[in-house]
A and B are shown apart, each in its own frame.
Chain A
Amino acid sequence: NAGVTQTPKFQVLKTGQSMTLQCAQDMNHEYMSWYRQDPGMGLRLIHYSVGAGITDQGEVPNGYNVSRSTTEDFPLRLLSAAPSQTSVYFCASSNTASDEKLFFGSGTQLSVL
């Protein structure tokens, strides 16, 4: 049971490049979400999904797109990377949207030059 798997672990981009951060879970969880973590600011919610085909915005959605075509996968897309998007990104999932326990992946460290 792998839990929540994020790839890649590290990524360096140039300003204006696009890329997709991958997140997959093998627990058949309905709820998935993306957070970013910046020094001194805790974790901030970017986007979330309560089930396949349903997504919504969190606190800081600008510059990011998501889709949820399957229960297992919830990719995060950066269409045109900016230095302000340099951060550590965490994907999390839970059994349902009201479940009390979130499971987090190990994170993707992204640097935008």
Chain B
Amino acid sequence: DAKTTQPPSMDCAEGRAANLPCNHSTISGNEYVYWYRQIHSQGPQYIIHGLKNNETNEMASLIITEDRKSSTLILPHATLRDTAVYYCIVRGGYYGGATNKLIFGTGTLLAVQP
């Protein structure tokens, strides 16, 4: 699976959009981009995933560049409860093995400021 690079930390003002970048320049054609977050002392929580089209759900939007070498997770109106470590993960499609062997890096600590 491709490696990802994220900034170690970011700040965002409450009520503003939080844009979290992720570089995955070695991503291959069948690899998906996943985002999870981990609020302090809790288990990680799934946010969103995508292959090449932009995706949106009730939690966030995912923008993937046309060359797929980078992506951005957008929290449209950040709240204090969104303060967490955000993990960007690249995972391949099903190849007969346990494809949920997600490899978590160190992520981005997003601090939402009041």
Asked, given contacts A48-B100, A50-B98, whether A101 binds B106 with beta carbons under 8 Å apart, the answer is: no
Inter-chain contact total with CB atoms closer than 8 Å: 63
Which stretch, B10-18, B40-48, B71-79, touches the partner chain A? B40-48
Chain B interface mostly helix, strand, loop or mixed? loop
Query: How many residues of chain B are within 8 Å of chain A by beta carbon?
Result: 24
Query: How many residues of chain A are within 8 Å of chain B by beta carbon?
Result: 29
Interface residues of B in 1-60 (CB under 8 A from A): 32, 34, 36, 41-46, 49
Asked, given contacts A31-B100, A48-B98, A97-B98, whether A40 binds B44 with beta carbons under 8 Å apart, the answer is: no
A 100-113 to B, binary, CB cutoff 8 A, 1 in contact else 0: 11111111000000
Return chain B residues, CB-CB under 8 Å to A40: 106
Residues of B that sit less than 8 Å from A by CB: 32, 34, 36, 41-46, 49, 87, 93-94, 97-107
